[in-house]
Structure 1
Amino acid sequence: MLSTDLEVDLDTILKKSQEKSWNTLLQDELNLLVTAFLPSQPLTIRSKAYIGVSAFCQRLRETSGKPDEATDAIARALGPAIISRLAETDEQNVISGLTFLTALFQVDWQAASAIFTQDGAIESVFDGADLFPKSSDISIALAQLLGQAVGHKTCRVAVPPQYIEWLESKSRQNADAATRAAAAVALIKLSRGSESDASEIGGSEGPSSSSSSDELMKLMKGLVVEGLNISSLSDAVEGLAYLSVDPKFKEQLSSDVTFLSRLFSLIPHKPSASTDTPEAGMSPIYGTVLIISNLCAYRPKLSQEEAQIAKLRRMAKVPGKGQPEEDPEVSKLEDEEHVQERGRRLIEAGVLGALSAAVKATDSRAVRLLVGKALLSLVEDKENRGKVLQSGGAKALMTIIHGVLPSPTSSTQPHNLSPLHTLDLEPIQALAKLAITASPVQVFGPNEGALYDAIRPFALMLVHPTSNLLQQFEAIMALTNLSSSSPEAADRIAKAEGLMNKVELLMLENHTLIRRASTELICNIVAGSEEVFNRYGGERNASAKSKLQVLVALCDLDDLPTRLAASGALATLTAAPEACQSLLELQTERHHVLPIFAQLVDPTIVPLPDESGNEDVVEEIRSPTQGDPGLVHRGVVCIRNFVVGVEDSAARKELALEAQRLGLVQALARVFKDNSADRSAPVLRSAAEALKCMMECGVSITA
């Protein structure tokens, strides 16, 4: 059948698959799908066939009650066509049976495994090798099928030793590079799977190969460097993708400049037609990016709970049960220093250009998310961030992020935060790291639209239910940087759905860095967003009063940056008389507002006893920074605004007298005197106005 006719017939099947009642394949349709996976068919035909088989399997799973019942239904529908072709004496029929089963493993591995492990099925699979011992097409198809099958334990344990010996012999021959590569990939998967089987407590070991990983690594690397044909290249890249998780091989591969140069060249620098079919899953682009991601990946950072569980598992391991202790030398290769050095070697070899090219070359979600993961690892090292920006890394990350972010639900909700998968947060986190250490212009360029576009993903990462503390911290830091660029940016950040509630909650977090970053973001938003300013300082209600109370409390912590941010926010908010009135109520109720402001100006000021004789102590024991100029300036502004902003003259006089009892008046006088030589000092005017107001209230000034 001509490929054009075959494509038309495949289009007909795909059209039928959209019908709700469709759940069967006619015999002619099944025959069509089976032959569509022959190596001689063009990529467009195989891609459409993948979609057709996937749609059929998905429909049966949707209409069947239980997963096992769906697996049996798919196996019954497709199995006979596969087994009958494997029993044929015609070479093309045998190849079509092998390639179709290989494709089914990529679409629905449960059903494919059920067919592969049927009585007599494995023997039928190898009958073709006996009938056509000199056929390279049969050998390649068989090796590729085994490469898929041994990736699953149920199939792995069913493969007889003689078939593993067949793979080993094919991996050692030099006559056919494509067969050699496919066999080597199968052996690598078998070896990795057997190791996984052995590590399971009480699990049985699967069959293992005698070919060493070192030999297979050398073979795979040589095939990439030689680049003889696309088939062997694809298999070699897939094999290296499995091997490159080993720290020893990470060091070898990242140190071979010739190999890296050849590997990066596999990524085209022009857009290519791509799909998310299973066949595209292990394309040279995907495999190459996966290798890159493995080479520069850091060990996962475990929480305290996860680290404790891992420790208990290590303690529970029984010697001699296939669970050897980790080699200290191998473990050392995964420390931060070695990972950073591998990343720098990759950058030196041109990996940044390859990653940017991968984003342009394909719209595959899987490939782009892997690029985001690789860039996240590379920007973990601060020394790499400038190079990533220079190579267009920020633009590549924005492209990836735009591809994974769902569209807002409506035009009236530009900041709608639709849920994302946890893996989708990795490119956002990578962009956040860049936005933390560079100015917004350096990261997003002069176009404000690009900067505004980054607000939504950062806000989403902050409020996402699966984001960890580090991701939340970096999202806040990035948003803080953006909010400082313009009032418009600050206002847009404040309007992101769920953001303000999350940040206000994190201001109470015990983690110092999280609390500090949240307070700094609030300080910027209060200064830039009129709406937030009014919500904190321009309204007289319990909510605004509570927010001000939190900021006052944060001014009294043992963390200078947090105190600077909180007092900065209050210096802005106290410009509103409503905020001053709320603070006056807090002062009347708790007697702590003025003492905390006073300690910003002079940390030696001690709170006075309250009416019960107890000091108005703070929640945390503090060793204040003596005379920090930033705190002094903010404290003077807060006091000036507070005293002047209280409209009731009797209340203002009481505040002035309280300030005198605390020693605050004398502290303000000293600040004025110390800065009087510099008439342009920002603190001078505020100190003078505060003292003037207090003098009008009958307080005498003595320095």
Structure 2
Amino acid sequence: MSDAQPVVKAVAVDEETNLDTILKKSQDKSWSILFPDEIQLLLTAFLPSQPLAFRSKAYIVLSAFSQRLRELAPKAKLSNRQDGPDVSTQSIVNALSPSLISKLGDTTEPDILAGLTFLVALFQTDWQAASAILLQDGVYDTLEDIPDLLPASASVSLALAHLIAQAAGHKSCRTVISSQTVQWLEEKARQKDDTSLRAAAAVALVKLNKGNLADAAANPLAAASPASASVGSAGGGDADLAQLMKRLVLDAPTSSPSSSIQDAVEGLAYMSADPTIKEMLSSDAKFLSRLFATVPRRKTLWSESSEDMGMTPLYGTILIISNLCAYRPRRTEEETQIAKLRKLAQAGGANSGSKVDDVTEENKLDDKDHVLARGRRLLQVGVMDALTSAVKATESRAVRLAVGKALLSLVEDNTSRGKILQSGGAKALSTIIQDMLSSAPSAAGPDKGKTPYLDASDLEPIQALAKLAITASPVQVFGPNAGALYDAIRPFTLMLTHPSATLLQQFEAIMALTNMSSTSPDAADKIAHSEGLFSKVELLMLEDHTLVRRASIELVCNLIAGSDDVFEKYGGRSGESSKRKLQVLVALCDVEDLATRLAASGAVATVSDSPVACGHLLELQKEKGRVLPILGQLIDPSILPPSDDATSGVEELEETAGGADPGLVHRGVMCVRNFLVGIKENKEGSKEVAQDAQRIGLVQALAGVFKANSSNRSSPLLRPAAEALKCLMENGIPIQT
């Protein structure tokens, strides 16, 4: 038999009318009953001979019915068994199983086919209920008898293979799949007359294989399922099955979503997590082009309603792309140590002396260099067209999040970011993010109704957009319309403040916001007022991680310069709060990291333009005696604080004495000049500060700067240095240049 599609019959007018009636009733919140004739209609609604639009409506009805029963049923177990169904699942089973089991137990092809296709649909809409029905006494035995009862029916065999593939995706169902079933699947996967059946059988074998391996890894002491031994070599191994499904993708037409290409793509979606398979698929440009062609370039009827029901290859295609360019998950230090201990335990005995960080050949195929190469090959073949088209073609959350995950992997390569931007990657990510935020439920708490609740996986498209916003100008990323840039502030804030965000995600959110804040005062002001952002950034200013601390102070520096409110918080208000904020900035001028010192001293230089801020600095100098030495060290590293106050940065300053950074010198001169001018009206305080400046050598340092720049009238240091020296002279300090 060839891969010809079943002839699509015209659905009976009364059937369609009745289904439309049920569909309309399902929108009513009080609806919770399917009458016997309605169940009978649903049982035949998923037959392959039914039009796709009709099947799509039936999926919606079945999903709505299952969901409604779950909402109405109490959240409780029927028994003490941990693996038993809950009340809501049992209510669905009670409603559907009598009619369904009757169909499966019939001897005629139409009834058996209706039962099989309905159970496949139930797995796709409510797998708990479908699993519970499959595990009822005698049901699986009935399924095993079907190949003997109707050996010549290609439609029944195809539906049965699809059903086994669905069941193989769930651990409880895998335990009942017998070696007899596996042998039947192997036979169908080897035959070459019916490519649709061949693909479906191969998918079932792959899912069984992967599932059993996962079960064994999770519980190595548990007894293997009856099918485990056979599945390990089913179809000649993963490589052979992958080659088979790759060939099906290359040969099958893409005009109809019912083609065998759906099964081939689903199988490859499972198998493409394997590094060897990744290399094989990503190295075949012809295959990749054919795979990308399965993504519709515009929204169609079937892509609108069917991609989450397994009726199109769209999700599988995007998942393959995501797998091919995925990097290894970053391990925490604790996870790394646990992995080493596990390897030591596995080595044992005579092998206990072997290195614990050995990498297998397969794992090497997943290292950074191989992943980078795969991503570049995908970009060369046109993966961006497929990814951006997928976002346009569907509103499916699963598909869009998979696109976001794939783009996050692709933008890891700095050299590819320009190409991704040119291909519409930033616009696709913005679409995904805005749709995700608009549909996300609200978080609990006092801000309920305002802050959307996001899973950790929801942060991936936001992180991908942040990476683009870090290395490119905001105009390149968001376009000339400022509104698009403003729209990105909220998701970056959510990633920064999310409880599950990694330190890397927080860092990248801050970096992106820093870049955006430099575009205009309006942008800086909107960022400063983004809910929860500023308090989080201020906490991260004290983070131990150098890069995170640096990024935080750089953002604060930009916000102080661009937002009047932030400037007021640090330098325009009297009170302890502003004083302590300013104290933190001064302290950060004394850390070892040069970039952090540059940002912190820049912020102090800006804030110290306010007389109120200078008053705070005077108070801090009187309390701790640290302000002038820290600001003086920016100009001349040989200026050190009193030994009993020595803190971090002293050792580093001793090493670099005589080699002050020009940027620090400029900022230091501006800070000291602003400070001295700002406290001029306070005669007593001004005199005391001048004496402190003379004692620590700051006067000499300022005189040295003035002398070094006196021959260059356009030097930005000349005037502030002269003004600072003038203030010191007015307080009786002799100046020698």
Match of 1:300 in 2: 329
User: Which amino acid is 2:338 matched to?
Assistant: I
Residue equivalent to 1:262: 290
Q: Does 1:152 align with 2:185?
A: no
- Please give the TM-score of this superposition, normalised by the length of structure 1: 0.95
Note if 1:9 corresponds to 2:18: yes
- Alpha-carbon shift at residue 426 of structure 1 (Å): 0.5
- Cα distance change of structure 1 residues 327 and 483 upon mapping to structure 2, 3 Å threshold: closer
Q: Tell me how far apart the structure 1 counterparts of residues 515 and 12 of structure 2 sit (CA, whole Å).
A: 56
Cα-to-partner distance string for 1:205-224 (whole Å, 9 max, x where unaligned): 22132321121111100000
Find the counterpart in structure 1 of residue 81 from structure 2.
none
Which structure 2 residues correspond to residues 238-387 of structure 1 after superposition, within 5 A?
238-273=266-301, 274-275=303-304, 279-281=308-310, 283-317=312-346, 328-387=360-419
CA contact (8 A) 1:597 1:638 kept: yes
C-alpha spacing 1:201/1:314, structure 2 compared with 1 (3 Å): farther
* Counterpart among 487, 495, 502 of residue 529 in structure 2: 495
The separation in 2 between residues aligned to 1:35 and 1:666, in whole angstroms, is 94
Are residues 282 and 466 of structure 1, via their aligned partners in 2, closer, same or farther at CA, if it must alter by over 3 Å? farther
CA distance in 2, matches of 1:279, 1:504: 42
Give the stretch that moved more between structures: 421-430 or 81-90: 81-90
1:51 aligns with 2:60: yes
Q: Which residue of 2 aligns with 1:565?
A: 599
Change (3 A) 1:59 1:315: farther
The one of 640, 649, 653 aligned to 2:673: 640
Q: Which amino acid aligns with 1:692?
A: K
Does structure 2 conserve the Cα–Cα contact (< 8 Å) formed by 1:507 and 1:519?
Answer: yes
- 1:231 to partner: Cα distance: 2.2
| Distance in 1 separating the partners of 2:305 and 2:609 | 57
Distance across 2 between alignment mates of 1:512 and 1:279: 44
| 8 Å CA contact retained: 2:592, 2:648 | no
Q: Quick check: 1:617 aligned with 2:646? A: yes
Shift of 1:306: 2.6
State the distance in 2 between where 1:317 and 1:52 align: 51
Deviation by residue 1:579-633 (Cα, 9 ceiling, x = unmatched): 000111111111100110000110011224xxxxx53222455413531010000
Q: Whole-Å Cα distance in 2 between the matches of residues 514 and 622 of structure 1?
A: 22
Name the % identity. 60
1:391 aligns with 423
Query: In 2, distance between residues paired with 1:314 and 1:14?
Result: 55
Q: 2-side partners of 1:243 and 1:51: how far apart?
A: 30
How far the C-alpha of 1:20 sits from its partner, in A, is 4.2
**Per-residue CA shift, 1:141-186, capped at 9, x if unaligned?**
0110011011112221212211211111111111111111111100
Q: 2:185 aligns with which of 167, 170, 180?
A: 167
Question: What is the identity, as a one-letter code, of the residue corresponding to 1:10?
Answer: L
Give deviations 1:6-45, integer Å, cap 9, x for gaps: 3332232233334444333210111111111111122222
Aligned counterpart, 1:231: 259
Point out where structure 2 has 5 or more consecutive residues left out of the alignment: 1-9, 78-85, 350-355
Tell me the distance in 1 between the aligned counterparts of 2:310 and 2:402.
Answer: 12
Report SS of the residue matched to 2:713. Answer: coil
| Structure 1: runs of 5+ lacking an equivalent | 609-613
> What is the one-letter code of the residue matched to 1:678?
N
Whole-angstrom distance in 1 between the partners of 2:91 and 2:453: 34
Mapped contact 2:306–2:312 kept (Cα < 8 A): no
| 2:629 is aligned with 1:595 | yes
Report the AA paired with residue 642 of structure 1: F
- Structure 2 matches for 1:102-141, cutoff 5 A? 102-141=120-159
Structure 1 residue 314, shift from structure 2 partner = 4.2
Match of 1:205 among 221, 224, 244: 224
Aligned partner of 1:143 in structure 2 is 161
CA contact (8 A) 2:308 2:396 kept: no
Residue-by-residue CA offset, 1:624-680 (whole Å, 9 max, x unaligned):
353101000000000000010013112111111111111111111111111122211
Pair 304,685 (structure 1): closer, same or farther in 2 beyond 3 Å = same
Cα separation, 2, equivalents of 1:499 and 1:370:
27
2:465 paired with 1:431? yes
Over aligned residues, Cα RMSD in angstroms? 2.1
Name 2:245's counterpart in structure 1.
220
Contact 2:640 2:650 in 1 (8 A): no
AA matched with 2:220: I
Aligned residues: 690
> What is aligned with 1:611?
none
Look up the match of 2:42.
33
CA shift, 1:134, in A, is 1.6
**In structure 2, do the counterparts of structure 1 residues 156 and 503 end up closer, same or farther at CA, with 3 Å as the change threshold?**
same
Q: TM-score with structure 2 length normalisation?
A: 0.90
Query: Which residue does the alignment assign to 1:191?
Result: 209
Deviation larger for 310-319 or 596-605:
310-319
Partner residue in 1 for 2:115:
97
Cα distance in 2 for partners of 1:642, 1:621 equals 23
Residue from 510, 513, 516 that aligns with 2:547:
513
My pick for the range that moved more, 371-380 or 64-73, is 64-73
Aligned to 2:454: 420
